[in-house]
Amino acid sequence: MISITKGQLLFLNIFAFFLIILYFKSSSSYYRNIISQNAHRDRKPYIVIYNRIPKTGSTTFTNAVAYDLFKTNGFNVIHLNMTKNRQIMSIPDQFDFVTNVTTWHERLPAFYHGHVSFIDFTRFGYPNPIYINLLREPLDRLLSHYYFLRYGDNYRVGLKRSRAGNNETFDDCVSRSGKDCDPKQLWMQIPYFCGHHHFCSEVGSTDALDKAKRNLIENYLLVGVNERMRDFIALLEKAFPPFFEGALSHFDGLDENRAHLRYTKKKVMPTKKTLEIIKNTVAYRMEKEFYDFARAEFDAIFKKATNGTDKAENIRLLSNQFHYEKIKPERGSRDR
């Protein structure tokens, strides 16, 4: 018979104790991984891209909706920072971006926002994400940007802007044909929707305008207008609740400053003569045509969604205008 000393027995007990701890640790880690994998599979891999255009209310929308709701609605928010404020990517960069966005599983579902022109994911073999955007009347947008460069806004008050100290009015700039008020500066919203084709940046290109319209209709879930942001948010909440559920009531509860972020501090309205000069340019006429096209589409969508009442609150109250019937096979017949 083998005799075991008290010391050996103590050692065996300690050894067995550590084996038990290691077993439970490995089991716990295994089951945590299983739970994590199941949770990952349960999450819908939605991707929303807001290729925001400067001075269209994009900071207000991004901060007051996306960054305020991501925890509640369970999605990730990622800012796409374009080098040197460019809005276009090379073909290799587009490929890398598309593959990164679609395969970054740890960051799905995801809301991307940044100053970038429309990217067609299908060119690289992937389905397009859900695109959204906001537009603004083109001359209003240019005026806001012109004076923003000089006087800043209510968002980053202490930041000195690039034209700080230059108090030249928009009228004076136009009279001397200055760079900041060049009609070419109006050519902004069309290129963002047109994409990365060579003609998109050509001021006055009818190909660019046509492509921008097609992309808006075919590749965007919704395009709103700056002056009707509340209606835009109400539609998004109903059209895509995984990201925007509760957005309207949250937006309505914001104080005045947060509901109007990046409001340009000072603007001097141009004279009638200046307005005539700008509005007679090709760039303005085409940008205005695109803006009016987008607004007409938004108006039609909003009218249908509110059943003709044109009240944002009614979007949530209106029941679905469809139902299912004549369903075959009947329930349970497959189990017989």
- Return the active site residues: 113, 115
| Cα–Cα distance, 226 to 183 (Å, whole number) | 21
DSSP result, 261-279: TT-BS---PPPHHHHHHHH
User: Dihedrals φ, ψ of 116, to 5°?
Assistant: -140, 145
> Where does 43-169 have alpha helices with state H?
58-61, 67-73, 91-103, 138-151
Q: Is the dihedral of CA 85, 88, 90, 92 positive or negative?
A: positive
Are 229 and 61 contacting, i.e. CB atoms less than 8 angstroms apart? yes
Rounded to 5°, angle at Cα 183 from 54 and 209: 70
Letter for the amino acid at 211?
Answer: K
Are 291 and 137 contacting, i.e. CB atoms less than 8 angstroms apart? yes
